[in-house]
Copies of this chain bind each other. A is one copy, B any other.
Amino acid sequence: MPKTYVDLETLKYILYDIHKLEDLLTRERFKEHDLESLDLFIDSVKEFSDRELYPYFKEMDETPAYHKDGTVIVHKQVQKVMHQSGEMGIIAACFDYEDGGLQIPFSALQAAVYIMDAANNHLPGYPSLTQGAAELIVEFGTDALKETYISKMLSGVWGGTMCLTEPQAGSSLSDITTKATPTKDGFYKISGQKIFISGGDHQFAENIVHLVLARIEGAPKGTKGISLFVVPKNRQQEDGTLTYNDVMTVADFQKMGQKGYCTTHLGFGDTDDCRGWLVGEEHKGLNQMFLMMNGARIAVGRGAAAIAMAAYRTSLQYANERPQGRKLSADGKKNPTEKQSLIIEHPDVRRMLLLQKSIVEGSLSLVMLASKYQDILSTAASKEEKEKYHLLLEMIIPIVKTYPSEAGAESVDNGLQVLGGYGFCTDFSLQQYYRDIRISALYEGTTGIQSQDLLGRKVPMQHGKALELLVAEIMQTIISASSDDELKAYATTLGNKLQLSQKVLGHLMPFAMKGNHERYLADANLFMEYMSIVVLGWLWLEMAVDAKNELKNGNRKYSETFYESKIHTMKFYFKYEVPKTISLAESLMNDEVITIKKDKEYII
């Protein structure tokens, strides 16, 4: 096993120095924390991950979760990690003190869970989803619901899930048919099928608390008739004991990767004895769920960024140890009597490593940026601040979900290639990262759905205000970079890319205004790719500006090479990735209509 799965130094640099965690700590909510205590928290999660997650990474792939006798059998570490995540306050980290939480900044928690993801991506979903489900109950649930569920969930004794998808309703949630029938006893009878439910059941769970989207009888069709329910696997009786709540585990989907993280098919109300309790208002379920969905989408991006990090570290180590081939001499030949080079000395291998580094660390910075927006939003002092960070967060969410998933997969693909034939062999972990990360572009809204969200909802939001705010943030970095002789050229390039994006939007907008939304959104995926590159270019330029400043500073925290490597990777990104915007813009502004269905069917 490789020595390292995460670059802790870079993680802390991005969290502390780039996104300035310390600035958040002046806020009332976080005033009992300081950088030292949060640093200790992160280190303790690293130590926990070294001990309880990383050693089981391969084993969990080789012994997938499976369905047996009405339950799902998972690896024993699921129990360990759930319990310890409770004990260490990982599940409770961001909750209010009064709910049993620790009021730790969301960014600090994300940094910690990122380490867990990198160590073993099959495990963190169990506590993470529990946290998300508990959040919904805290946010919208009655005191009675909070009383029953929260402490058990935050301590990791009970698990939690989100139940959205049904066999006929995946991307299209308006087609949910799971039924909720009111009773006079304050609960609803739930019946229906839910599929793809992560962490939906396992042999160690005393109870699992499902947050279920369902339709109250007589509710309007579409997304406006969906309500949210708490539906536990086992319900508490008056004497405090648990009884089976008619939530049947029908199956566990077998997957190409992330095999230790179970994906279940659940049947609710098979014997008409499944009780659910309404969370929040009737018919507002989807909006409520989507509040949590922002967190879930950041989590998917974080997980993908972390898998790509682990893959990068592994291929980097291999490249530093594997001799193969030789440097070309002036006649274009190689001298076979010379010692072999390490493969890290070959330009093409360096290109693959730098591509990984630029994607991996850029994605990490993006995840931390979204987390920071979330923290500022949740502690906003003024209406203006709240509005601003709400919009910035909304704007960045589809990108933070998508870029680490898509580019992260490409990054792992390059990592695998660095190992040559060995990369394809199960003796090495690259092939597992390659399989595991592939789910990220599907989870919690596919790339297609995210791209339509970006171009169809976020760009037009409040007449373009969200985009305007993001552009203003980017401009600040462009201005800082412009005052540096070395960085000026990159700043100019990034500015040009912003302008070109305006031109692209100027080309597309008229279709939306004329009511041709299908046309407006047809190439939303390309626009997503365009904007992602711009945002990543920005985050790399921001890192380069900081690194340049620190290099002038006699009292710097990290080595010269550390800062130089950040500047160098920014240059890589601008040479190899940023130019992709040109071809994307060309495709986006090409007026041929190719992908919209006409009367004739051309795909055969």
Contact = CB atoms under 8 A, between A and B. Distances in A.
A88 to B, nearest CB: 30
21 contacts: A168-B324, A171-B324, A172-B324, A254-B425, A255-B425, A256-B435, A263-B425, A332-B512, A347-B522, A348-B448, A348-B451, A348-B521, A348-B524, A351-B522, A351-B523, A435-B435, A568-B602, A575-B587, A576-B594, A579-B586, A582-B582
Contacts of A423: 442
Contacts of A564: 600, 602
Nearest to A336: B222
Interface string A532-575: 00000000000000000000000000000110110011011001
Contact of A170 (B324, B329, B413, B572): B324
Given A168-B323, A565-B603, A601-B561, A595 B523 contact: no
A516 to B, nearest CB: 8
Contacts of A526: 576
Contacts of A40: none
Interface string A58-90: 000000000000000000000000000000000
Interface in A327-366: 327-332, 334, 336-337, 340, 344-351, 353-354, 357
A518 interface: yes
Interface in A196-226: 196, 221-223
A495 interface: no
B587 A221 contact: no
A316 interface: yes
Interface residues of A, number: 107
A31 interface: no
Contacts of A586: 579, 582
B435 A417 contact: no
A8 to B, nearest CB: 13
Interface stretch (A102-110, A130-138, A143-151, A426-434): A426-434
B172 A326 contact: yes
Given A351-B595, A442-B417, A596-B347, A253 B521 contact: no
A165 interface: yes
A446 interface: yes
Interface in A411-428: 413, 416-417, 420-421, 423-427
A1 to B, nearest CB: 17
A257 B564 CA distance: 39
Interface in A508-528: 512, 515-518, 521-526
How many copies the complex holds: the figure is: 2
Interface of A: 165, 168, 170-172, 174-175, 196, 221-223, 253-257, 263, 316, 323-332, 334, 336-337, 340, 344-351, 353-354, 357, 409, 413, 416-417, 420-421, 423-427, 431, 434-435, 438-439, 441-442, 446-448, 451-452, 456, 512, 515-518, 521-526, 561-562, 564-565, 568-569, 571-572, 575-576, 579-584, 586-587, 590, 592, 594-597, 600-604
A587 B579 contact: yes
Of listed A421, A571, A582, residue having the most chain B CB within 10 A: A421
Contacts of A582: 579, 582-583, 586
B172 A325 contact: yes
Contacts of A409: 413
A372 B582 CA distance: 36
Contacts of A597: 344-345, 347, 350
A451 B351 CA distance: 13
Contacts of A568: 594, 602
A438 B442 contact: no
Contact of A420 (B424, B442, B572): B442
A575 B603 contact: no
Contacts of A512: 332
Of listed A168, A340, A575, residue having the most chain B CB within 10 A: A575
A438 B416 contact: yes
Contact of A350 (B446, B452, B595): B595
B434 A420 contact: no
Contacts of A346: 448
